[in-house]
Amino acid sequence: MNEQIEINKKTLNVLADAVFYAGFGAITKDQLSAALAKGTDEFQVVHDTKMNGDSVRGVLHFKRSDQDLNNVFFNSFDLLLKKEGKEETLQRNFPVYYGNKYTLKEGYNLLDGRSVQKEFTKIDPDNKDIKNVSTPWVYLDFKNVDDKGNLQIEKKYEYDLEKELEKYPIKGMEFSRNKKQLMDALKKGDRVEITMKTSDGEKEIRIEAAPRVDSINLYDKNNKPIRLSIKDNDQSQSQGQEVSNKTNQTQNEQNSMANKTERKAEAKQTEQPETRKRGSRIKA
């Protein structure tokens, strides 16, 4: 009996850790324990939450091992997203097994139309010590579903996030720590608020990775799409120097004109007294 209790505690702790790292840390051990106590081969735990004002439901799927009933696996979760102000509910199942794991936030971001960079691991069937790792960007195809009714996941391998970010004058990108934090957030599928340097001064803009079109999506503070014309750094610096030169040239021209005007005024002031003297003599 004591051995049985210890095994159950170990199983509970393992499941609690797996649930936590999948982003469902709000699910308590008591909830998991109650589900385990039912003794069924398969069971679910439901978790409702709000993300950015949207209603999100997670249905976590667990299954006992056929060889050892005390060995329980957290295999996947269904995620249901209902956008604020919309009637439609989007849904997909996301796996959490080794080599193909998704989190609550990643699932939400994918259902919300954004892209996520994932690391996938495949073990060589002939040699389990050989692991093939890939890091594509993934996004959902909202027009097609697979044979299980899930929205299809599309993958893109050729996308340089850092290169795309360097096209924009983002404040603080010269600091490696800021750059890494921004890139890490974008790789998780987040829409991130940044400060952009524009001709009208600094502006708060929200951005997200857009690998399917090899670009960056830009939004205003109300999450409305916007567009900005961009130039590479050399062009921007060249244009900035050209603007500076034109400004200096204009200023020099203005100063030259001012000097000419001032000299003319002085010349007139010098001539006026002589005219008055001649007039006096004629009058006399």
Domain locations in the chain as residue ranges: 2-156, 161-228
Q: Is 160 left (phi over 0), alpha (psi -120 to 50) or beta?
A: beta
Contact 102, 96 (CB under 8 A): yes
DSSP state of 211: G
Beta strands across the sheet bearing 116-117 = 116-117, 137-145, 151-156
Three-state DSSP at 101 gives strand
pLDDT on residue 185: 97
Beta strands across the sheet bearing 192-198 = 192-198, 201-210, 215-219, 225-226
Higher per-residue confidence, 149 vs 167: 167
Question: At 193, which amino acid appears?
Answer: E
Of all helices (H) and strands (E), which one includes residue 257?
helix 233-283
Distance CA 45, CA 36 (A): 10
Most confident of 60-69, 183-192, 199-208: 183-192
Residue-wise pLDDT tens digits, 120-154: 999 888 888 889 999 999 999 999 988 888 999 99
Residue 250: pLDDT band (50, 70, 90) is very low
pLDDT on residue 207: 97
Distance CA 146, CA 209 (A): 25
Among 200, 192, 197, residue whose Cα is nearest residue 219: 192
pLDDT on residue 259: 52
Residue 267: pLDDT band (50, 70, 90) is very low
Average pLDDT over residues 198-218: 93
Tell me the two tokens of residue 143. Answer: 């027009």
